[in-house]
Amino acid sequence: MRKPLFALLILVTVLGLCAQANESPRRTLLVEVRDIPADEQAGEGVFAYNDYNRKRIVSLVRNHAMILATPEEAAALRDQGFSAEVIMESDDELTLYRRALYGPTLKPDPVYHTYDQILARAAALQAAHPELIQRYPIGETTQFGRTIYAYRLSNDATVAQDRPAVLFNGCHHADEVLGAEIVLALMEKLVAGYGSDPQVTHWLDTLEIHLVPVVNVDGHHYVLSGHDPRWRKNARDVNGDGITGVFPEGVDVNRGYSFNWAMGGTSDPGGASFRGAHSFSEAENRAMRNLADMRQFVLSISYHSQGEVIFYPWTWNGMAAPDDKVIKRIATDVAGRIARMDGEGTYAIAPGGPSSQSYPWFYGRRGVIDMIIETGKGSHLFPPSDVPGILAENLKGTAAVLDNAAGPGLSVKVTDAGTGAPLSAEVWLPRIDNETVDRRHSDAQFGRARRLLDPGEYYLVVSREDYETVVLPGVSVAAEGWTELEVKLIRR
């Protein structure tokens, strides 16, 4: 029988003495605790998990925790009735984290792929099927100048095509390595399935799918080289001392976008969500901006860990995003196909804030419905036995994303009435859009603007400097597929 009052009194006393001394307790034990009741994992429970503060609870997966503790804290847990087994004792905190997150070998399990391994696998797929997959660079990393690669997949990937485009990316945060694994697994599924799997064949025949397996290449290397499993940010030498790889240096790549940049993260260089000196200060963010400049996407997914929830844009001063109804419908469909690790239901959805992360920027600045999927629950580096199941479930989510890229929606092609040349023009739905989002534009290459919409009637305005504005007050969007509309602008 657990004795909560006595044990908690001891634990609170220990933590209270440390607080009086204005320092964290020196935790030299790695303790494994099993069979933790649900009520102890929530609210004020002893094992309420906060993945941004892992000074005590390193991971909590399937009611099984790995924690850092003092001898007194470990004794208090045992007195409370928990099964608290000391796995390792060390004065080196990093060694304890390596044991907790990498396992007994103190090295990453081969189930996780390094960036070089991902590039090698993708190169093999491209060599075997060059018509289906092509690699292209989008930028370099901030600290070490490593190339960040994207991949285009379609039934003719050697050329850009005038089709709905979808983006999947992983590892804005270095330790959230499942994102890279999901994107790599999707790459392999698409290439292997074309011509034999009708669903995959349809996607590659009708869409352009772009993949960025690893955004934060330098940080990802720190984690999967075994250097430090805690690494979240990029590898920037923030203090300029010429020494890299010293935790917790770096900049949080997912707090560096320009949409309400000052509202996101922290200005503290030592903070887990340090947003950098200014928006787009990091080359990794500029690489993603370069990608958005190259291609107009209708949907985008950024993989993170953990929480088993999908965050979408947004709630801002109590207001939903202009496309809230459509966004929520798609997020609900995607989440509803991904089972949770405990088998109890599927992923949740929640509106995020309008801050400096990828999804507010992609949506607010570029009109892309972008969502963050927080994969798995209770860790960033999951036990190897859990990885296949998480991947399989999230591939079901990718199917939902790709299915939703088929519409319904409006596809507007804007051309010069005299020459027939494609034009980049403002394509505006004034009864939906408001001042919280930038105006959307057709792309310069195809003159195309696509927007996922619910079926119905829409008021459309198309304009470009030196051309006569076109106002269409009753554009009808069909219940299925993309409603095609050509707008020919007359030069003034």
Domain ranges of the chain: 4-102, 115-404, 409-489
Give which of 318, 423, 310, 445 is closest to 369, Cα–Cα.
310
Terminal Cα distance for the chain, rounded: 84
Asked if 458 contacts 475 with a C-beta cutoff of 8 angstroms, the reply is yes
Token duo for residue 442: 């057709």
Per residue in 116-160, pLDDT (tens digit) is 999 999 999 999 999 999 999 999 999 999 999 999 999 999 999
- The letter for the amino acid at 250 is G
- Pairing of β 299-304 and β 165-170: parallel
Write down the pLDDT at residue 53. Answer: 83
3 state DSSP class of 255? helix
Distance from C-alpha of 427 to C-alpha of 445, rounded to nearest angstrom: 15
Give which of 371, 370, 367, 369 is closest to 448, Cα–Cα.
367
Write down the pLDDT at residue 21. Answer: 44
Write down the pLDDT at residue 23. Answer: 62
Going 250 to 255 to 261 to 262, the CA torsion angle's sign is negative
3 state DSSP class of 139? strand
Write down the pLDDT at residue 25. Answer: 79
Q: How many CB atoms lie within 10 A of CB 144?
A: 12
Write down the pLDDT at residue 6. Answer: 39
Residue 300 CA neighbour count, 13 Å, CB half:
23
Angle at 298 between CA 135 and CA 311, to 5 degrees: 100
Write down the pLDDT at residue 145. Answer: 98
Which residues does residue 413 pair with via DSSP β-bridges, in sequence order? 448, 486
Distance from C-alpha of 197 to C-alpha of 77, rounded to nearest angstrom: 52
Give which of 49, 141, 62 is closest to 382, Cα–Cα.
62
Asked if 227 contacts 258 with a C-beta cutoff of 8 angstroms, the reply is no
Distance from C-alpha of 226 to C-alpha of 339, rounded to nearest angstrom: 30
Write down the pLDDT at residue 468. Answer: 98
Distance from C-alpha of 179 to C-alpha of 381, rounded to nearest angstrom: 11
| pTM confidence score | 0.94
Pick the CATH number of 409-489 from 3.10.450.50, 1.10.10.60, 3.40.50.300, 2.60.40.1120: 2.60.40.1120
Along the chain (492 residues), what's the average pLDDT of each consecutive run of 10 residues?
A: 42 45 78 95 89 90 96 95 96 97 97 98 98 98 98 98 98 98 98 98 98 98 98 98 97 98 96 97 98 97 97 96 98 98 97 96 98 97 97 98 98 98 98 96 98 98 98 97 98 96
Distance from C-alpha of 322 to C-alpha of 434, rounded to nearest angstrom: 7
Query: Measuring CA to CA, how many Å separate 39 from each of 10, 45, 78, 80?
Result: 20, 6, 18, 14
Distance from C-alpha of 278 to C-alpha of 268, rounded to nearest angstrom: 13
Pick the CATH number of 115-404 from 3.40.50.300, 3.30.530.20, 3.40.50.2300, 3.40.630.10: 3.40.630.10
Beta strands in 247-362 (DSSP E): 299-304, 309-313, 315-316, 319-320, 348-352
- Pairing of β 147-153 and β 133-140: antiparallel
3 state DSSP class of 358? helix
Write down the pLDDT at residue 253. Answer: 98
